[in-house]
Amino acid sequence: MTRTKIKDLLNATDFGRQVTINGWVKTFRNNQFIAINDGSTINNIQAVVDFTNTDEALLKRITTGAAVSVTGTLVESLGKGQRVEVKVSQLEILGDSDPEKFPLQPKKHSLEFLREIAHLRFRTNTFNAVFKIRHALAFAVHKFFNEKGFVYMHTPIITGSDAEGAGEMFRVSTIDPDNIPRNEDGSINYKEDFFGRPTNLTVSGQLEGELAAMAFGEIYTFGPTFRAENSNTTRHLAEFWMIEPEMAFYDITDNMDLAEELLKYLIRYALGNCGDELEFLRNRLLEEEKQKPQNERSELDLLAKLQFCLENDFERLTYTEAVEILRNSKPNQKKQFKYLIEGWGADLQSEHERYLVEKHFKKPVILTNYPAEIKSFYMRLNETDEQGRRTVRAMDILFPGIGEIVGGSQREERLENLLGRMDELNIPAHEMDWYLDTRRFGSAPHSGFGLGFERLVLFVTGMTNIRDVIPFPRTPKNAEF
């Protein structure tokens, strides 16, 4: 008999028919009630076995984690907690699971423990929910841009350019480290390497995305990016996914509008399509909150927080206005910030971003017009202000619990200005000739941004560690699986 997914059976009303389900045993109670999950839903279905007429050796093999195939009659359940159940007529063990060795027993496991067995954590309810939501959000990204007529562009994973100018990149090379070819001056002879030049894993698809935007008008990339940044925090990964749209004829305001629209669309999609998963995570968080003192508990539960983001316009202000708020804030005056804000030009840290969002405005914030000195070379310069301060048309979106979730800007479309900034930052113009051609031939105002996908998933799921929203996290000293 063709198997039926548990998700479809849980809503069925045609009782009395024969069904077959395959899945994994979650629990087996009283030698009679098997809770089975096949991954199609976070919810289990109960199968009731007649233990008096079932081989005892077979019953002993029905253990947590075992894969089973069950055929039986779909009936209305008389027990609490489920609407339907399957009265078993035939049961087959597809794969045994030794209860003495299987690490996921029917009890609460810490997230730290589950990170150590990331290859099995998908089987828990928490990670079933998290990765179902991740899938839904990824689908919604493509849906949003497709509906708007954007072209999906695959930008290179291996690149010769450093889009951020930070230098924190992973080298890609086939050179034998035990036999490095060298030039006469002792430097590495990259002509002997696979690509004939130094190459790295990409930190961003932006620069290549700009090339495409100057032909298609509106494009987006969505792919893996890599940073060799030695940051062992709950917000950083060495390998993560980025959504990067680039749009011709967009100014900074158009850019902010699109980013806010995208974020709200994605949150709305998750609320509309992941109800069971979000409800499970909401209840999980509420249980965790009970362990905290009252003053440390969140004002809004997970669903209320997501709804709040949809119902409120993001607060927009300049970097200069933000610095004033931070300089005069209690944590700054009482020296509670790790990095004190003494004046204009400070590079805002996560603690400052979160203060603005969580304490001051109590909603998402978009900051604009940052000092040129702390931003990338490709951002459009504003006119110098009356204090002689140079700013760029950058915009960062800050979210509660996360800090920066989106970083973007209007790009510098004026060739001379771009060359000037590259010269200041010692970026060799000859190596970026391909990029500069977009400013030589038919240059136009254009903008774009990057949305860190894992930070979005972190926010929507309410998880607190970024390692718990990507299947196999890559962090300093950790590249398991």
- Which residue type is seen at 120? L
Nearest to 44 by CA among 2, 7, 79: 7
Q: Give the CA distances from residue 453 to residues 64, 135, 458, in Å, rounded to whole numbers and listed in that order.
A: 33, 11, 9
pLDDT per position as a tens digit, 204-232: 999 999 999 999 999 999 999 999 988 87
**pLDDT average, residue stretch 392-407:** 94
Q: Residue 296: exposed, middle, or buried by beta-carbon count in 10 A (0-12, 13-18, 19+)?
A: exposed
In this prediction, residue 478 has a pLDDT band, given cuts at 50, 70 and 90, of confident
Give the per-residue pLDDT at 440: 97
Higher pLDDT, 188 or 232: 188
* Cβ atoms 104, 120 nearer than 8 A: yes
Inform me whether the pLDDT recorded for 310 exceeds 90: yes
Write down the mean pLDDT value for the chain.
94
- Rounded to 5 degrees, φ, ψ at 443 are -60, 150
CA distance 281 to 130: 8
CA torsion angle 395 396 397 402 (round to 10): 180
pLDDT, residue 289, reads 87
Q: Residue 458 and residue 266: Cα distance in Å, rounded?
A: 13
161 neighbors 167 (Cβ within 8 angstroms): no
Q: What is the pTM of this model?
A: 0.93
Angle at 301 between CA 240 and CA 6, to 5 degrees: 70
State how beta strands 151-152 and 67-76 pair. Answer: unpaired
171-172 and 199-201 beta bridge pairing? antiparallel
Assign 164 a pLDDT band (cuts: 50, 70, 90): low
Residue type (1 letter), 245 = P
Q: What is the pLDDT of residue 297?
A: 79
Rounded to an integer, what distance in angstroms lies between the CA atom of residue 78 and that of residue 85? 9
| CA separation for the pair 180, 190 (Å, rounded) | 9
pLDDT band at 481 (very low <50, low <70, confident <90, very high): confident
Mean pLDDT value across residues 33-42: 96
Cβ distance 371 to 345 under 8 Å?
A: yes
pLDDT (tens digit per residue) in 230-266: 887 888 899 999 999 999 999 999 999 999 999 999 9
In percent, how much of the chain has pLDDT > 70?
A: 99
Q: Which two tokens stand for residue 219?
A: 């494009």
DSSP state of 230: -
Q: C-alpha distances in angstroms, 336 versus 298, 326, 355, 362, 471? A: 21, 12, 12, 19, 36
Q: Which domains does the chain have, with CATH numbers?
A: 6-102 (2.40.50.140), 123-168+203-468 (3.30.930.10)
Question: What are the tens digits of pLDDT across the range 324-370?
Answer: 999 999 999 999 999 999 999 999 999 999 999 999 999 999 999 99
Residue type at 223 in one-letter notation: G
Q: Name 392's Cβ contacts closer than 8 Å, sequence gap at least 6.
A: 369, 370, 371, 372, 375, 379, 380, 381, 382, 409
pLDDT number for residue 388: 86
| The two structure tokens encoding residue 14 | 């045609």
The whole-angstrom separation of Cα 144 and Cα 154 is 17
Q: Taking a C-beta distance cutoff of 8 angstroms, is the pair 23, 69 a contact? A: no
Q: Model confidence at 294, in pLDDT bands (50, 70, 90)? A: confident
* Cβ count within 10 A of residue 224: 14
CB-based contacts of 175, cutoff 8 Å, min separation 6:
181, 188, 192, 193
Is the predicted pLDDT of residue 26 greater than 70, yes or no? yes
Residue 368 confidence (pLDDT):
97
Burial-class residue 479 by CB neighbours within 10 Å (0-12, 13-18, 19+): exposed
